[in-house]
Structure 1
């Protein structure tokens, strides 16, 4: 298991490094930070002075190493758009984005696991096919379209829920529900597949022969073993949900990290963009690593690797 986790950790570091190098290069290619700061009417001398102050006149490799060194020491730079430290911006806005993501994954579990169990217990029947079709359609629905549809239905027509902001818990309902659609189809299929395999196992036949009730067999025996891949995929899906929060936060005007990233990209505030990319990359890779650890602990076949 140590070798298995060691390989996973090495791959996680390589993925993070690759994402950061690519993102840093794109921010330098896509625009001129000095012009964004100085303004379009600034003189060439003022732009050159800002480039020198920010180190933009140095080779790209030197710029990246300097930024990485500062980032490792907690200095992510300063936002020229918001006029404050980037680290403070992230620390201020991330908690609500995380809460939104955790709420979404909780909603996904509540819907996906029971539906996956029902589909598995009715394998090949109409209920199974219907649930699978709905899950496939749900996975194909764009988040922004679903968000706008729910705003019209529940916010404008019915006036049940607010259409923007997260001042109260009711403001989290619609964006969290939209984000949960990222994970529900995947988790549903994983639950169904795990339950189908578990229900065909020899120990289930033994449990039936002993006269155990169907509820006891499903809840105490089959679901326990089917839960292993679901636990692993839940961690990964949380990473996808947090990454998808950019679109959903813009649609619902939730001014947290996702909205911050969108606004910074549009205005060319590259220090904030890089910080958000770093944050999401570390979260996604960390959750994948957590999924590997959970898989190694839950699956005896991985403990000897």
Structure 2
């Protein structure tokens, strides 16, 4: 197990450095950052002055090395627009996005996994059809439309929930449902398919033939093996929720890291955009690494392979 973790950790570090270089390069390949900062009416002298001021006239590898060395120390520079340290700016916003992401994936798992298991136990039944309907609806409903419908119904019409803000836990109920509902269909379908495959296995029939209780067969033998691909999918979905929560944060006026990314892109705030891309990518890498370790613990065959 220790060797498995070391291999996965080394791979994660390699991917992290690769992602950092690609994200840094793409922002410069997209155009001249000095011209974007100067604006359309700036003269050539103004653009050159900005290019020299921010060090854009240096070789790209030198800029990348300086940026990466500072980033490893937690220094992402100063925001061009907010005129504040990027690290502090992101740290203030990240707690909102983290709270929303954790609540969203918890809502998705606590809803989708039981529905997927119930649908697999009773295929072609009413619960199976309900799960199929929710799965199709989750894929078809745009998140921004679903969020606006919830605001109209539960905030404007009924007055049960606040439409925006982050003051109390009630402000996170509707954003959590919108964000988590998007991840539900894939988790539900994967859980159902995995349970159907596992329940037809020989060792499940053997356990039942030995007189094992049905609940033990379902949760100790069947679900433990069927949940392995769900863990990997949940890790990817969690990374997506943190990096792709821009729409949800915009609808419910949650000024988290996702909303900060949207603001920074629109204002050509290069240091903030670079830092956010790197941080969101790190979330993907960390969650994928943790999912690999958890899957290896659940299935010893992964460690031996």
Give the structure-1-normalised TM-score.
0.89
> Cα 1:55–1:178, aligned 2, differ >3 Å: closer, same or farther?
same
CA contact (8 A) 1:179 1:244 kept: no
CA deviations on 1:202-238 (whole Å, 9 max, x unpaired) are 3432443344543443234433333333333322221
CA deviations over 1:243-290 (Å, ceiling 9, x no partner): 221221112111010110000000000100011101000010111111
Cα separation, 2, equivalents of 1:71 and 1:297: 33
Instruction: Please name the residue that 2:97 is paired with.
Output: 97
How do residues 188-267 of structure 1 correspond to structure 2 at under 5 angstroms?
188-267=188-267
Aligned pairs (5 A) from 1:154-193 = 154-193=154-193
Q: Find the residue that maps to 1:50 and give its secondary structure.
A: helix
- In 2, the alpha carbon distance for the partners of 1:72 and 1:237 equals 26
Does the CA contact (< 8 Å) of 1:147 and 1:175 recur in 2?
A: yes
- Aligned equivalents of 1:31 and 1:203: distance in 2? 59
Corresponding residue of 1:50: 50
Contact 2:76 2:275 in 1 (8 A): yes
* 8 A Cα contact 1:182 1:241, kept in partner: no
Of 264-273 and 36-45, deviating more is 36-45
Aligned length: 305
Contact 1:122/1:128 (<8 A) preserved:
yes
Using the TM superposition, name which of 194-203 and 251-260 deviates more. 194-203
Which runs of 5 or more residues in structure 1 are unaligned?
none
Change in Cα spacing, 1:162 to 1:31, as seen in structure 2 (3 Å) is farther
Q: Deviations over 1:96-151 (max 9, x none)?
A: 21111100111011111110111101124454244224313312322222222222
Distance 2:14 2:176 in 1: 31
Question: 1:51-100, CA deviations, whole angstroms, 9 ceiling, x for partnerless residues?
Answer: 21211111223222221122122210101211110011111111121111
Aligned mates of 2:22, 2:171 — CA distance in 1:
35
Pick closer, same or farther for the CA change 1:212–1:200 going to 2, 3 Å: same
| Superposed counterparts of 1:80-159, under 5 Å | 80-125=80-125, 127-159=127-159
Q: Which moved more, 1:169-178 or 1:186-195?
A: 186-195
CA distance in 1 between partners of 2:144 and 2:29 (Å): 28
Of 210-219 and 178-187, deviating more is 210-219
Q: Which moved more, 1:75-84 or 1:235-244?
A: 235-244
CA distance 1:217–1:4, change in 2 (3 Å): closer
CA contact (8 A) 2:224 2:298 kept: no
Asked if the contact 1:105–1:238 (Cα under 8 Å) also holds between the matched residues in 2, the reply is yes
TM-superposed deviation, 1:196: 1.8
Which deviates more from structure 2 when the two are superposed, residues 232-241 or residues 44-53? 44-53
Partner of 2:275: 275
* Deviation of the 1:156 alpha carbon: 2.0
Structure 2 gaps, min length 5:
none
Counterparts in 2 of 1:12 and 1:139: CA distance versus 1, 3 Å:
farther
